[in-house]
Amino acid sequence: MSSSVIDLLATEARFGAQNYQPIGVVLTRGEGVWVWDIEGNRYLDCLSAYSAVSQGHCHPKILAAMVEQAGRLTLTSRAFHNDQLALFYEEIAALTGSHKVLPMNSGAEAVESAIKSVRKWGYEVKGVADGQAEVIVCADNFHGRTLGIVGFSTDAETRGHFGPFAPGFRIIPFGDAAALDAAITPNTVAFLVEPIQGEAGVIIPPAGYFKEVRELCTANNVMLVLDEIQTGLGRTGKLLAEQHEGIEADVTLLGKALSGGFYPVSAVLSNNDVLGTLRPGQHGSTFGGNPLACAVARAAMRVLVEEGMIENAAAQGARFLQGLKDIRANTIRDVRGRGLMLAVELHPEAGRARRYCEALQGKGILAKDTHEHTIRIAPPLVITSDQVNWALEQFATTLTQDLS
């Protein structure tokens, strides 16, 4: 079997569904903020697998927990108890201040599970007539790729030719509290929203938006469901992005960095009411809450706190943001971010962001374009000052070129 870059790309193209268009680099090894391709070139990872590898690639303590657990017990299903689940519950509840936990695997499954749960809460606690529950969501949302979720996407590529879709969703503009006020009806059970819209291009809502959202949800007995799958676990410089807004969600969704990139682990966190409506047999997952997932997630949460990664995200994120703002380049239209969730939006005339990402690859930086003109930057939370400085030099030389 041959394994040159060209052969591997051709084999992928021949056998794989073409639902991705990756940058032409084939990675084989990772450590901390760095990854290496099969030709031995080293890159600073400025995507972190969309924030799943926040703790850095192959973190030794998470690896050790995974290997130890994998040699002991990996899967029992929830037909039996396992000795890791209770500890996972206890530690994630303590970390996030939650009352109840529902373990799932992918982020999309956590979102689907939350929608099922808030609907059930709506019928059984709020008293909405059966079949009438409404969930409000935002335009330009990204909550995953399952059928239920893509049905309330506003992106044509995401939805196109995948219907028919489930009813029961209302779409309002992001960052507009008056629109939420107008959209709420007696049948509204929840408002599902990202604290910062990541896939949309790191869109930060106006100051005070979430305070108003919180008040509207409370006043109307509507569950506020924050999708923190990308923003959570330190990415924005606080444990949860809601802490920047001084609010608390009723339901919080975590995924991605919950396993430090080792394994798909997600969770729905809630007050007692919402998850309390689920009875035996009404929801489940073969792999959800398995001992390997729990052991990995426990280690991933532990290193995040013990190694000061959240504080580091705040400090290095502020430096990175300022450094990007200081770059004087005609190509740049806007620079924004919070913590280590950053984006550079290019002027449309500057050419496509993908060209700049390819140029960055040549300088040893892997970053990802989103929506044609935006480069998102989300390195592991373990990045150092020297590494930020080096990355800024590469961004400065790349962004001052005209690649249109």
Going by C-beta distance under 8 Å and a sequence separation of 6 or more, which residues neighbour residue 229?
107, 110, 111, 253, 254, 255, 256, 266
Q: How far apart are CA 200 and CA 329, in angstroms?
A: 23
- Residue 144 in contact with ligand PLP, rule: CB under 6 A: yes
Contact with ligand PLP (CB under 6 A): which of 54, 84, 106, 252?
A: 106
Least Å from the CB of residue 252 to ligand PLP: 12
Least Å from the CB of residue 3 to ligand PLP: 28
Which of these ranges, 35-43, 63-71, 106-114, 369-377, lies near ligand PLP under the rule CB under 6 A? 106-114
- Residue 198 in contact with ligand PLP, rule: CB under 6 A: yes
Please pick, among 227, 250, 273, 369, the residue that the annotation labels catalytic.
227
Q: How far apart are CA 230 and CA 258, in angstroms?
A: 10
Least Å from the CB of residue 230 to ligand PLP: 3
Of residues 221-260, those binding ligand PLP (CB under 6 A): 227, 229-230, 255-256
Contact with ligand PLP (CB under 6 A): which of 100, 120, 143, 338?
A: 143
Please pick, among 142, 152, 262, 395, the residue that the annotation labels catalytic.
142
Of residues 256-275, those binding ligand PLP (CB under 6 A): 256
Q: How many residues bind ligand PLP (CB under 6 A)?
A: 15
Q: Which is nearer to ligand PLP, 2 or 21 (CB)?
A: 21
53-92 burial, b at 16+ Cβ within 10 Å, e below that, comes to bbbbbbbeebeebbeebeeeeeeeebeeebebbeebbebb
- Residue 376 in contact with ligand PLP, rule: CB under 6 A: no
Q: Is the peptide bond before 164 cis (omega within 30 degrees of 0)?
A: yes
- Return the sign of the alpha-carbon dihedral for residues 82, 88, 90, 93: negative
Q: 285: which DSSP letter?
A: -
Q: Is 363 a catalytic residue?
A: no
Nearest residue to the partner ligand PLP, using Cβ: 107
Q: How far apart are CA 339 and CA 238, in angstroms?
A: 8
Q: Is 130 a catalytic residue?
A: no
Q: Is 256 a catalytic residue?
A: yes
Q: Which is nearer to ligand PLP, 50 or 121 (CB)?
A: 50
97-128 burial, b at 16+ Cβ within 10 Å, e below that, comes to ebebbbbbbbbbbbbbbbbbbbbbbbbebbeb
Q: Which residues are identified as catalytic?
A: 142, 227, 256
